[in-house]
Every structure is written in structure tokens, then in C-alpha cells.
Amino acid sequence: MSVSHQQIEQVRAFNRDYTRRIGVLSQGLLDSPWSLTEARVMYEIAHCPGITASELVADLGVDRGYLSRILKRFAAGKLIARVASGADARRLHLRLTPAGRGVFRPLEQRARRQVRTLLSPLDAARREALLAAMSAIRRAFDPPRAAGGVALRTHRPGDMGWVVERHGALYAGEYGWNEEFEGLVAGITADFIHKLDPARERCWIAELHGRRVGCIFLVAGKGGSARLRLLLVEPHARGLGLGSRLVGECVSFARAAGYQRIVLWTQSRLVAARRLYQRAGFARTASKPHHSFGHDLVGETWELSLTPGAPPAARRAARAAKP
């Protein structure tokens, strides 16, 4: 998906506003003689004593020559000490001297006071929303590479509202679907709560490091079938195998509950979801054009047989289509 001009300008506007608020445009950071980069290098040495110049270059993405000039200034002021590595004398570990710690300490204190001043006018709800947004930005640019932090749980109060809101927002943003789809999801979640049979129906909520990132539902259908509904994975959590894991949980639960098959309804343009269903053994059994959610769509029915020895769903569909 291409990045629009409006999206680019939104990021630039945020950057301009935030840098102004935290005062990094001033000649010296936090009313000090040190630039932002110098203060950041000092921070890393203070909090990671023994760090090397090469590690600073890698961690901060700063030019090696520029970093060398900063370290020379620190050394001239006797703010840092260089200690040779016992394993390699050419490798020098950096530490703040007592004089360096004396310079850094007030910088740290001013930075904390600045953030406290920034957060203090906000009430608890707005403060939590701000911190959650900051965390989301960090996760978006540094997505997890493994699903180790993912946990699946059953639903609890508050989850249904999240399911409705995220379906409405994501499908509007990614496919342009209108509020009719959000209304459909709201109806499905309301029916789930009002008619829930815990022995045969379930909702799974996926969390990544304690935050909701996905969901899926399994509900009773007709004639011994179960219905898979409302699969969703947040964009920043995709690529972890979470969608396959959610579908797998549904299939395992449906087998244990004694269902004969699982049926689902999806749209032909939801390519990633269709691929997940196909990998899990589902087969498309029907398709039909329709106009919904503000668009001309092709709805598809997919089915997975859970009965040993039963013919695959695709073969049954082909037989039914014969004259």
C-alpha cells in the first residue's frame, strides 16, 4: 500500500510539534551547553558503562567521525575515561568520570522535570492514551520478530467493544468499507454474548505484551456445523503466525466440542484471510456477488470437514453443482 501525501504531511506535522514541545530546537538542550546528540551520547555512556564507540555508532546511527569529535570534546573536559578491553587492547570501553557524572546528573534531572511538566496538565485518561500512542509508535517501527510475547485468552468485559471498533476502523482504512460493516460486527458480538454456550462456543482474544492485537470467534451453526467468525489481526502484529494460530485454536476447539464441520463466510478480496483458511484445510464451496458495506463484493462460503472419512468439502460442492 503506497504512502499518501496526506500521511506524509501528518507525520511531518507531528514531528514539528513534538520537537518544539520538548525543546530540541534550542541551541543547547535543556538550557545546557550540550547539543541533543552530545546529551544522548552522554546518556548512553552513563546508562551503559563500558560501551564502545562502535556500539554507540550502531545503536544511535550517528556518523563515526561526528561521534569521534564528540568523544574528543568529552575527553578534553575530562568527562569520560577510556579503558582498554582485557581481551583486545584495541577495544576501548567508555565510562563517565566523576566530573562527567557531575555534568550528566543535572541533565537527567532537568529531563525528568521537563517530562513531568509535559504530562502534569493531562488527566489520567488522556495521559494513558498518550503513553499508549507513544508505545504504539515504537512498536510500529520495531515490530516483534517472534510470537513469544503473544498470549491467547477468552473474552472479558470491554473486549466486545474493542472487536467492533477495530473491525470498523481497520476495514474502513484498508478496504473503504462503510459503517454497515461495523453494524454487522456489532450484531454478531451482541448475539454471541446473549446466546453464548461456553461448552460449544468461544471467543479468543490475542494479546501481544499485554495489548489486544487480534481475535476470532467460533459459534454454533446449523446441522452439526460451527461457524468461524470475525478473524482480525492488527497490522503491527501481522507476520508472526498469529492468524494461523487463531484459526488453529478454532479448529481444535470445534473438534473437541464434537462439531462435524466448520463453515465461514468471507470476501474474495480478503486474500490474506483466504490463504489462512486454505492452509488450515478449508475449501471454498460457494461464491455469490453482492453489494454490501458500500461496495460490490463477491461473498464466499468456505468449509472444513471434521468427520473422519468424509469427502472433502470441495468435492462435495463439485458433486452438488453437477446437473
Identify the band that residue 142 occupies on the pLDDT scale cut at 50, 70 and 90.
Answer: low
Contact 253, 267 (CB under 8 A): no
What mean pLDDT comes out for the span 257-281? 95
The residue assigned the cell 520478530 is 145
User: Do β-strands 261-267 and 150-154 pair in parallel, antiparallel, or remain unpaired?
Assistant: unpaired
Q: Indicate if the pLDDT at residue 157 is higher than 90.
A: yes
Q: Indicate if the pLDDT at residue 14 is higher than 90.
A: no
Tell me the CA end-to-end span of the chain in Å, nearest whole number: 43
Q: Indicate if the pLDDT at residue 243 is higher than 60.
A: yes
- Residue 145 vs residue 215, higher pLDDT: 215
Read off φ and ψ for residue 27, nearest 5 degrees: -60, -40
Distance CA 107, CA 26 (A): 15
Contact 94, 53 (CB under 8 A): yes
What mean pLDDT comes out for the span 117-136? 84
- Choose the weakest-confidence range: 32-36, 75-79, 92-96, 246-250: 32-36
Q: Give the other-Cβ count within 10 Å of 229's Cβ.
A: 20
Beta bridge partners of 299: 267, 288
Q: What's the chain look like in SS3?
A: CCCCHHHHHHHHHHHHHHHHHHCCCCCCHHHCCCCHHHHHHHHHHHHCCCECHHHHHHHHCCCHHHHHHHHHHHHHCCCEEEEECCCCCCCEEEEECHHHHHHHHHHHHHHHHHHHHHHCCCCHHHHHHHHHHHHHHHHHHCCCCCHHHEEEEECCCCHHHHHHHHHHHHHHHHHCCCHHHHHHHHHHHHHHHHHCCCCCCEEEEEEECCEEEEEEEEEECCCCEEEEEEEEECHHHCCCCHHHHHHHHHHHHHHHHCCCEEEEEEECCCHHHHHHHHHCCCEEEEEEEEEECCEEEEEEEEEEECCCCCCCHHHHHHHHHCC
Boundaries of every domain in the chain: 5-121, 151-321
What mean pLDDT comes out for the span 2-12? 86
Fold of 151-321: Aminopeptidase (3.40.630)
What mean pLDDT comes out for the span 149-166? 93
Burial 241-256 (b: 16+ CB within 10 A, else e): ebbebbbebbbebbee
Distance CA 189, CA 155 (A): 11
CATH entry 1.10.10.10 includes domain 5-121: yes
Q: What integer pLDDT is reported at residue 137 of this predicted model?
A: 80
Contact 290, 299 (CB under 8 A): yes
What's the one-letter identity of residue 92?
A: L
Distance CA 131, CA 57 (A): 28
- Residue 148 vs residue 138, higher pLDDT: 138
- Mean of per-residue pLDDT scores for the chain: 87
Length of the chain: 323
Please give the share of the chain, as a percent, with pLDDT higher than 70.
Answer: 89
Q: What is the CA radius of gyration of the chain?
A: 28
Angle, in degrees to the nearest 10, between helices 36-47 and 98-119: 110
